[in-house]
Structure 1
Amino acid sequence: MALDPPFCLSKEKIEMSAFELNNEDVLLMYTSESFTKDRTSRAGDMLEDVKDFFYSCNLPHKGWIDGGVECEVLQTSGGGWQKGKVKLSIRIEFVPDEPEVLQQSASIVPGEPMPQLDTE
């Protein structure tokens, strides 16, 4: 028998949480999938090789990766045109295969009977 809210005493919430790697974190992968062509690589080295890959493609707009490209932006939140630079930001994220399991806190309604939990 499933329990309906507000009786969620031990309902599990599964969350896939990606996180950004720092430059010293080490990655282990197949060499065919690695930008560094090594089995293990520091994330910082991987980022540099990704940037090198973009440069080797003879892209006409290398400024997107370097210091940015001068432009103006008109945001929907208002404020008028604003001058500045737009740039491409490259980062490496890791998404675990096994999701984090978070326990939700018990939710008891005063005056209501305690729910019966299945033992199966």
Structure 2
Amino acid sequence: MTDAHGATGRHLYDSISEQKHTVVDSFADQRELLKRAVAEQRLAAMPEDLQRAARGPSAQVSLEIVEALQKIIAREVTRQLDLAICAMIERTAASAAAPADGASGGQ
């Protein structure tokens, strides 16, 4: 009977200990998430120049890369739109000229 109670008691102790570790780990994870959320909120509340300074030099380089890529993309989009508009104008002019040529040739 002692062996049965001893084994059961030990199993119960292990189970409770495991639950305790799970709860403590969960609290630690929640604490880390809250710390990150607070840090992000503080950063978001800062003016942009202070945000860049707080993020450090690598963030500044990343921001410069993103801005350069945005400019390149904007230029390319503008170029593509210009080409599309020119093509539409040419097609419109060609289609307007085609019926006039067909009408004069048929008379």
The bucket for the TM-score relative to the shorter chain is under 0.3
Structure with bigger helix share is 2
Specify which structure has the bigger relative contact order, considering alpha-carbon pairs within 8 angstroms and separated by 6 or more residues.
1
Greater gyration radius: 2
Higher strand share: 1
